[in-house]
Amino acid sequence: MFKKGLYTIVSNQPLTKTIYKMVLQGDTCYITAPGQFVEIEIPNKFLRRPISVCDYDKDSITLIYKVIGEGTSFMSTLLPNNTLDLLTGLGNGFNTDIPQKQPLLIGGGVGIPPLFSLAKQLTINKIQPTIIMGFNYADEIFYRKEFESLGCNVLISTLDGSVGTKGYVTDVIQNNQLTYDYFYACGPLPMLKVLCHTLPTEGQLSLEERMGCGFGACMGCSIETKSGMKRVCKEGPVFLKSDLKL
């Protein structure tokens, strides 16, 4: 089910030079799983902006977004008590009801946020995930402490090696000889492709696509999977590795 409503900004702060964290207050009853997203109406823009939910409780939503274009630039200027029109409860989200003992949660850059509520849910389910976060440079790192405060082991890669493993998230997995029986991932498409082709276990990957509506009406974001055409906004954004043709 979906919900459209006005949400009041509680806080809107930069975490890095381009990454912002926004907390909104409002009804969250239609958010049912980590990895779902919201569609935000931006004044003077025709299409809403899809942003993944980083965290939520019964009356607040945390979004972490990267300032890329005019829509997200506008969002970064908003102040507490400003309101935004949101569609919530969009997408399938991650399925945590999977037999697993040691999952990896692998995020690249602004793909990391939806893994936070996922990690929270898994720890509630008494599963302790290992978090692997990939960044380009040290000054882009965010949310390390937040994940650690959930009791998770957090491993980091940076392209220049200034923090953690030098290279990519896949180098972290190789260098640390990690044992795992499942994985969840969100990040840039090249990263997801490599994970699909190199990790031996089943896993769930959250994809990104340009969207029209965000709720399954326009077929603007359809991708071809092994079981036919699927809408990233409706049957996704989370897909099983075994179903993807990456």
Partner 1 sequence: MNLSVNLCGLKLDNPIIPASGTFGYGNEFKDFYDINILGSFAFKGTTKEPRSGNPTPRIAECTNGLINSVGLQNPGIESVIKHELPLLRTFFHKPVIANISGFSIDEFIYCCEKVDKEPQVGLIEVNISCPNVKYGGMSFGTTADSAAQVTQAVKSVTTKPVFIKLSPNVTDIVAIAKACENAGADGICLINTLFGMRIDLNRRQPVIANKMGGFSGPAIFPIALRMVYQVSQACNIPIIGCGGISSAHDVIEMMMAGATAVQIGAMNLKNPYICKEIIEQLPEVMEKFGIENLNDIIGIAHQH
- 243 binds partner 1, rule: CB under 8 A: no
φ/ψ bin of 221: left (φ > 0), alpha (ψ from -120 to 50), beta (otherwise): alpha
Q: Which stretch binds partner 1 (CB under 8 A): 107-115, 131-139, 175-183, 220-228?
A: 220-228
Contact (Cβ atoms closer than 8 angstroms) between residue 182 and residue 100 = yes
**Inter-residue contact 162 to 137 (CB < 8 Å):** yes
Choice between 6 and 124, CB closer to partner 1: 6
Q: Looking at 132, 134, 222, 238, which residue binds partner 1 (CB under 8 A)?
A: 222
| Interface positions, 79-108, toward partner 1 (CB under 8 A) | 87
- Cα separation, 105 vs 77, in Å, equals 31
Rounded to whole angstroms, the Cα distance separating 54 from 37 reads: 9
Phi, psi of 115 (to 5 degrees): -75, -15
User: Which residue do the tokens 């997200």 mark?
Assistant: 72
To the nearest whole angstrom, how small is the minimum distance from the Cβ of residue 205 to partner 1? Answer: 16
Q: Where would I find the H helices in the chain?
A: 70-76, 114-124, 144-149, 169-175, 189-198
Does 131 help bind partner 1 (rule: CB under 8 A)?
no
Would you count residue 217 as binding partner 1 (CB under 8 A)? Answer: yes
Q: Footprint of partner 1 on residues 180-209 (CB under 8 A)? A: 209
Write each residue from 30 to 69 as x if it is in contact with partner 1 (CB under 8 A), else as -, in one continuous string: -----------x---xxxx---------------------
- Per CB under 8 A, 215 contacts partner 1: yes
Question: How many CB atoms within 10 Å of residue 200?
Answer: 8
Cβ 213 to partner 1 shortest distance, Å: 4
Q: Which residues bind partner 1 (CB under 8 A)?
A: 1-2, 4, 41, 45-48, 87, 209-213, 215-224, 229, 234
